[in-house]
Chains A and B, each alone.
Chain A
Amino acid sequence: EAGVTQFPSHSVIEKGQTVTLRCDPISGHDNLYWYRRVMGKEIKFLLHFVKESKQDESGMPNNRFLAERTGGTYSTLKVQPAELEDSGVYFCASSQDAAETFFGQGTRLTVV
């Protein structure tokens, strides 16, 4: 069974550009999450989808970040326009229940 997959694995963009990260959760998982780890700091929650609905987006830093989950399958996280402080590793995760949350490998975003 495929795990949570994220694309791209690395992205380097210039300040002011747009970047879109993609996450494919484990098939059948209704819950999908985005987290971010800024260098040296804790992994922080960004938002939570249940199927295609945003259940909790309290961790989204500002309105430059837009997450979607079309049809309750894969999700995208767009940053527009990117700023230097957006650099970090973005993790996607999925779960079916509270027993275990499965994480992807992360996308390392560098804004220069």
Chain B
Amino acid sequence: AQSVTQLGSHVSVSEGALVLLRCNYSSSVPPYLFWYVQYPNQGLQLLLKYTSAATLVKGINGFEAEFKKSETSFHLTKPSAHMSDAAEYFCAVSDRTGGYNKLIFGAGTRLAVHP
């Protein structure tokens, strides 16, 4: 069965510093992988997705993620953090068994950005 593990429930960085949010997945088939961001009391917004094309995926707001099959990882990075990046980030894998293509979410990582 598909699953997602996000290492680190809380990450804190200084403004301008590198952001690295970790995601490892388990999938019995070639995965589709997603990163979503959630601001307080809001729904989820798609940052980027991997769909078996280029392994380095660029998303919105300067974020990118690299799919590494050998490490079963899909870590999210941003070269320089901005205060507005403070939010909850969820990694997800598409579960394409059973016919309904569900998304399986990780537990989430809360990113704090300090001045």
Is A bound to B? no
**Interface residues, chain B, CB within 8 Å of chain A?**
none
**Interface residues, chain A, CB within 8 Å of chain B?**
none
